[in-house]
Structure 1
Amino acid sequence: MNQMWSQSDSNSDVKIVAGSEPNIKEFSAHSSVLRSRSLYFQRALSERWKDKKHDIYIITKPNIHPNIFMLILDYIYTRKTILPESAEDSLSILIASDELELLDLIECSQKHLIKKFSSWLLSNLVMSLNVVCRHNHFHELYDHVLKFTFRNLYSLFNSSDLPLLDEVAMICLLESDELELEEIEIWNYLIKWSISKFLDDDITNWSDESVSRWSDEHFVALKETISRCIPLIRYYHIPKNYINKQIKRYKLNSNAFIKTKTPPRRRSRLMTNENKAIISSWIDKKDNDYYTCMTDPYKFKLLLRGSRDGFDVNTFHRLCDFQGPTIVIIKTVQGDLVGGYNSVNWDSFRKNIYKSQYDFNRSNVFTGDDEEILKDIFLIPYYTLKKESYFRTTLNSFIFSFTDQSNPVLSRVKAERKNVAIRNDEQRGPSFGTDLCMENSTRWTSYWGTYEHEITKSNHLIAEEFEPKYL
């Protein structure tokens, strides 16, 4: 049976002072209960902590508000899950639970925050990032916040809260392959963040020209702020002359820059952020009022890259089948940049059962007295299982061309051809009707007919690069 906590219990042997001026409160508790519930208290309640004169353990927790500590103490004694009615209290309980190593409470607090206060977390993105990047045990909340962040990078880096972003959070972002921005953009945002940390002026009004008015103290402050982040920029993917200008402009140490070849982030080699926003608009049928990079609601995740994973049909089906709606984009040696959106799953085949019957009359194997008996036996039907390619019906898929970046082409499914919009075939890769089909390895064909507009004049295409992505 759970022991009930009572502030007035005379048998308590622990005094905990929670909070700081002007909100301080003392709590009485039992060392045996605290040790049994918390790894932290197992270490903290040792003999060397004990006040020998009064035979009482004394612990101070100035960073935990008394109201939060009272809720946690109730949880320790009753094991009842705490579900605060405010996002701030829920986040405070999570942070305090991490400090006190209450692993069960960490897990349920994360779930509670995600389920009930997700919109608050995302509206306070900088605070949320700072919390999840400072603590090692918030895996579920970390994934939730980071997933949203990577889908809304422009909102983060153009936020007025950017100066409040901790260094540990910035490092966390820079270390990730999911930071889907041009590397030169990442560098510029890093500079903006660094300057925002020590300039009192509104960073939104800052410009390159203001650097000419800097004192030596400004350059020293920038160097100190940015020093741990510089090695995380992948300079191999930024023009050398641009970096040299940045080093000179901001009086940085060139030796801090790692200029050796580094792998790119999981950013599309074929799709710009502007193109992605246009495709997102087409998905939502916003054919006129397009999304911008700031308002784009989708994040496309790379499933495979031909130059990295292979161009063969089997690799495509292994990595891309049953991933839900996907974008496919192809750069060809002919100079085309074309692709398509599949609003349903890719698949290799479907299995069909066929009923068959032995044709006794065509067989000369059996003769004599056994003929009638054998005939009865072989008239019994049997069934075979066959794998077949098949079409998916949809009006939501489309194909497109960005060959002329100033004049992108959108081609939606013809209404009368919706039954053959998407073909699934284990012998072929992605097939959008007859209009864009991966026949084998790098070989593609394009015969206009299933979709409204022609996206290329070439019937036979050779892929130089190939990237399927899922939403």
Structure 2
Amino acid sequence: MSYNFESEVSEALGQLLETETDYNVIVHIGEEPNFKEFHAHSNILRCRSEYFNKIFSAENIEKKDGKYLIKMSNISPKAFDDILKYFYTGKINIVNKTGTELLDFMIVSDEFMLKKLTKLTEDFVIKNHHQFLQNDPIGILQIVYYCKPLVNLQEFCLNKVCSKPEILFNSDKFTQLSAPLLEVILKRDDLNLKEIEIWENLIKWGLAQEQTLNKDVTKWNQDDLNTFKRILYKFIPLIRFYDISSEDYFNKVKPYKKILSKELRDDISKFHMVPGYKPIYTPRQPKFNIDNIDSIIISRFFPNWIDRKEEKYTKSIPYEFNLIYRASRDGNTAAAFHARCNNKGANIVIVKIKNSEQIVGGYNPLFWSSDNNDMPTKDSFIFSITNKNDPQSVKVVYSNGDQYSIRCHSHCGPYFGYSDLYTVYTNYSMWQCRPHSYPTLNLPNNIELDDYEVFQVIKK
């Protein structure tokens, strides 16, 4: 018969750390005034961390009075204290830590190659700390962005900033954002900010990068223009000038027109002055998102469809639509879809059909998962919009409530009905439509998609 005395071992090692009996390692952490000296045992650190094992194996390791001396100025004493206790006892409590403390803890965990602990903390932050960015959005974003192993936390922070851009752009430290990170944010199609507001913030950021520039652009000379053009040259192609109104373009963009190429200026002028003119010079494709599909259909129809109201339009919008997945951006695979969409609650799926203006999709009032189960509901629906400029072309049908209303299969993406609207698992660019659990939308059996998105539906 065997017995488990792990708790006694953990308690004994914790006591050893506190009493510092026969310690042979001195660790200097941080810098004044945030500095602390720790004492530990090399055998414990070797066993618990590959990082320390490499340090103690080095021939040139520093010693002081016969003890190993390790100096780490870029780590906070509080985070190291927690990690050291974890090394000895295997216990860690991250529940009561602030967002900044958790970030420090993740960075130290990553530094010491503690992958499981880093992942555990990252998952905890994503699940429980939705206000993570509020106190210092610029500092936290830059730390997370440059800490490459924190991939999920990076995406969490970028999603949060894009869905609520005031967190970043209203910050007093916005102009301190690094150019590479600003470029990453402006490249994203889910940035929930009007194009003219993006332009205004870009000008604000650019002016802050060169303090000698006069805030009044009319007083600039050619050298000033060249300087500002050099600061913003990477960002100009990221602005969708054709989404800016004629009035805003005249008042807010034209004063800086000389930092735009002549070809772009001419093309924008034709776009605003010539009815039906199709731009030649397009820095970026228009956003394929919930606003650009058709704000009237999305904002007015979806809330009523969700609430099963008979009214055609709604004046107030009781929901927020938060983009959580785009196939072209996040990977058009079942694994990518489930990684971003599982257990996020109610959601809308929007599919853009290839070489067509038609849009199809569906509403899942429950959630997605990878457990290969089917779920009945009468509140789900699928829809078709043949012509986004013609409200009469909009069709919506609700589930008959059978057990296949929503299907959660790990090898498939969104799956509505027994076979009504779903991804073909052998070819994720192909969707199939065969009426069974929903009334027919008269769709073709096979649909080749251009892209598709999933929006989390949140009650205001």
Instruction: Output the TM-score relative to the length of structure 1.
Output: 0.57
> 1:46-445 maps to which residues of 2 (within 5 A)?
46-51=58-63, 54-87=65-98, 88-121=100-133, 125-153=137-165, 156-157=168-169, 162-174=174-186, 179=190, 188=199, 191-192=202-203, 194-195=205-206, 197-198=208-209, 210-213=216-219, 222=228, 226=232, 229-230=234-235, 233=238, 249=256, 264=285, 267-268=288-289, 271-272=293-294, 276-278=298-300, 281-282=303-304, 285=307, 288-291=314-317, 296-299=320-323, 301-302=325-326, 326-328=348-350, 341-343=362-364, 394-395=378-379, 397=381, 399=383, 425=419, 429=433, 436-440=441-445
1:16 pairs with one of 19, 27, 41: 27
Aligned residues: 372
Q: For the residues of structure 1 that align with 2:401 and 2:167, how far apart are their CA atoms?
A: 40
Match of 2:444, SS state, is strand
Match of 1:288, SS state, is coil
Q: Is the 8 A contact 1:395 1:413 kept in 2?
A: no
Q: Is the 8 A contact 1:183 1:234 kept in 2?
A: no
Q: For the residues of structure 2 that align with 1:212 and 1:232, how far apart are their CA atoms?
A: 24
Match of 2:205, SS state, is helix
Higher relative contact order (CA 8 A, sep 6+): 1
Q: Is the 8 A contact 2:350 2:453 kept in 1?
A: yes
The 1:89/1:436 distance shift into structure 2, 3 A limit, reads same
Deviation at 1:407, TM superposition (A): 7.4
The 1:395/1:195 distance shift into structure 2, 3 A limit, reads same
Structure 1 match to 2:427: none
The 1:212/1:39 distance shift into structure 2, 3 A limit, reads farther
Q: Is the 8 A contact 1:302 1:468 kept in 2?
A: yes
Q: Is the 8 A contact 1:121 1:128 kept in 2?
A: yes
- CA offsets per residue over residues 309-361 of structure 1, 9 Å max, x none? 9xxxxx9xxx99x998544567899x98675644479xxxxxxxxxxxxxxxx
Match of 1:83, SS state, is coil
Instruction: Output the aligned Cα RMSD.
Output: 5.6
Match of 1:6, SS state, is helix
Deviation at 1:238, TM superposition (A): 9.0
Structure 1 unmatched runs, 5+:
201-207, 310-314, 346-391, 443-462
Q: For the residues of structure 2 that align with 1:10 and 1:425, how far apart are their CA atoms?
A: 68
Match of 2:94, SS state, is coil
Deviation at 1:116, TM superposition (A): 3.2
The 1:24/1:331 distance shift into structure 2, 3 A limit, reads closer
Deviation at 1:119, TM superposition (A): 3.7
Q: For the residues of structure 2 that align with 1:84 and 1:433, how far apart are their CA atoms?
A: 45
Report the residue type matching 1:429 in the other structure. C
Match of 2:107, SS state, is helix
The 1:175/1:328 distance shift into structure 2, 3 A limit, reads closer
Deviation at 1:133, TM superposition (A): 0.8
Q: Is the 8 A contact 2:349 2:452 kept in 1?
A: yes
Q: For the residues of structure 1 that align with 2:283 and 2:302, how far apart are their CA atoms?
A: 30
The 1:151/1:79 distance shift into structure 2, 3 A limit, reads same
Structure 2 match to 1:353: none
Structure 2 match to 1:361: none
Q: Is the 8 A contact 1:19 1:25 kept in 2?
A: yes
The 1:468/1:167 distance shift into structure 2, 3 A limit, reads closer
Q: For the residues of structure 2 that align with 1:109 and 1:283, how far apart are their CA atoms?
A: 39
Instruction: Output the TM-score relative to the length of structure 2.
Output: 0.58
- CA offsets per residue over residues 155-211 of structure 1, 9 Å max, x none? 6445555335344433443565x54679966972772463374488xxxxxxx9943
Larger Rg: 1
Q: For the residues of structure 2 that align with 1:220 and 1:437, how far apart are their CA atoms?
A: 57
Match of 1:59, SS state, is strand
Deviation larger for 57-66 or 271-280: 271-280
The 1:303/1:120 distance shift into structure 2, 3 A limit, reads closer
Deviation larger for 126-135 or 283-292: 283-292
Q: For the residues of structure 2 that align with 1:70 and 1:272, how far apart are their CA atoms?
A: 54
The 1:437/1:91 distance shift into structure 2, 3 A limit, reads same
Q: For the residues of structure 2 that align with 1:297 and 1:171, how far apart are their CA atoms?
A: 24
Deviation at 1:56, TM superposition (A): 3.2
